[in-house]
Structure 1
Amino acid sequence: MIDATARVADATHNNWVDTRAPVWSRPYLRLSRFDRPIGSWLLLMPCWWSAALAAGVAGDLRQLPGTVVLFFIGAFVMRGAGCTWNDITDRNLDGRVERTRSRPIPSGQVTISQAVAFLVCQALIGLIVLLQFNRFAILTGIASLVIVAVYPFMKRITYWPQVVLGLAFSWGALMGFAVILARIDAAALVLYAGSIAWVIGYDTIYAHQDREDDALIGIKSTALLFGERTKPALVMFYGLAVALLGLAFVLAGAGLAAFVGLAMFAAHLARQILRIDIRDSALCLKLFRSNRDAGLILFASLVVDAALRAAV
């Protein structure tokens, strides 16, 4: 008999899914990573950055609260759908990796047909959220699905799957402008590029948890590609992220508050680089998760900046 109460190896300790959710729902919530919500937060950050920056460009905060709430719901639901799709495509690989073999599909908690049905349900909820926006934003959101669909296969063919993840996880940097302004400015494109560099950096840290298993089964990643050169690589990608985000702020006419937040964001990333030990999996996971706090600091500064600009 399958034990639906068995927790996933890398789940957050004493998370609400494992301790309070109804037993029947736990395998599905684990498919969506609600026991490990950090990925949803990281998907959300570029959405919130973009919305706040676009509100500053518009000089109007009226759309921002509702957009922030809808982005929150959409990010958690669509990250769940993306993870379900990833687990379906990786079902044979996950069973061969120590950290992932306890996931719902390889551990037998959920069948493939049940996972597919759950994927459809999540996608429909995401569609309902997307339909609350203007036509341009709806089309922009739909365009991201191609990248999401191909991402799980990239680690089989390239050492740079983190780039494709960055393309998918940073799409929100375009969505904020699409929703608030019904257009995508140069500032949004540069914000998108900066977010991609950030994602490559933090997901390289994350991938170091699995590098030995990945090497054995033929899975590729930037963690394997960089190896002992990970710190210089992080300096490059995190440095590029900060530079591009700063350029996006300049193009959007952001004020001092945004750049103070960017300096704090940069300091947070620099601390990750100084602390990282690629042989310490627990530390890698901790540093990876800390990027949510870095993203929230930047978002808060952009909200302050937008409020100041709207008040003028």
Structure 2
Amino acid sequence: MKKIAILTSGGDAPGMNAAIRAITRTAINSGLEVMGIKRGYSGLINGEIFPMDKEYVADIIQKGGTVLMTARCLEFKQEEVRKRAVKILKAYGIDALIVIGGDGSFMGAKLLSDLGVMTVGIPGTIDNDLAYTDYTIGFDTALNTAVEAINKIKDTSTSHERVSVVEVMGRNCGDIALYAGISGAAEAILLPELEFDKNALYRTILDGKSQGRMHNLVVLAEGIGGAIELAKEIEEVTGIETRATILGHIQRGGSPSGSDRVLASKLGAKAVEVLLEGKTSRVIGIRENKMVDDDIDEALAVERKFDQKLYDIAVVLSK
């Protein structure tokens, strides 16, 4: 193996640049050439490929987003498109591809591997929704962004004695909501993994009012959705002024936390090591603070287990 390429795919996540930097420098120090592919799989099939060196990644570790940019590519589901992508990689003399992204991005890497391309995936998604790894790149930064916003919302909420409903990202995985809810001392945390009882929520808020609570915080994941409608219902039932805040894509941006930079650096270096070992169709992760590499199919088949214990702690602490 003489030359590898890197692409970022799907939603961006803080720390992707740190991974790009780690891959590039580890590969070059191992005697490999490195190519960058812009705009994910879309850029691959359009030939947006260029050489990368140490200088290109010299000042990116602190930057959010991805310098390689990202895009979704529905065309890549077509076999003839993937075959063309393989031919393009061969035209540039690329022996292996490292993909940074989520489960959809990993599936693209798997399909290329089936066509003879050496591939390795690195988990980059703020939702922390890949079950085979304890943490994904971007989760810690997104969490801290949400917590910072919640802290500020609580200040004004207390001043006006309001209920604040804060919607954070997380369609099928409520980790950001759960962790942010605990960190922000929320009275209620609503997650896609669990059904919730609106009447119980109303009672919690009314009980708090009777006990002299100055404000109430409800954190919900976007998988639940309807923050604005829920705020209206809370106000209607409880009589307490209620405001909704949807944090949205602010959680994807910003300079990555130290934890995300270190995690991305470890994962990036490990990805190059795995390729040098001759492995393909692998994904890199972290379990019990140890770097691991798993078969893509096996990793994607791991059933995600909801952290009921952590949620139970949140419930106890909210009382």
TM tier relative to shorter chain: under 0.3
* TM-score (ref. length: structure 2): 0.27
Q: TM-score normalised to the size of structure 1?
A: 0.27
More helix by share: 1
- Which is greater in Rg? 2
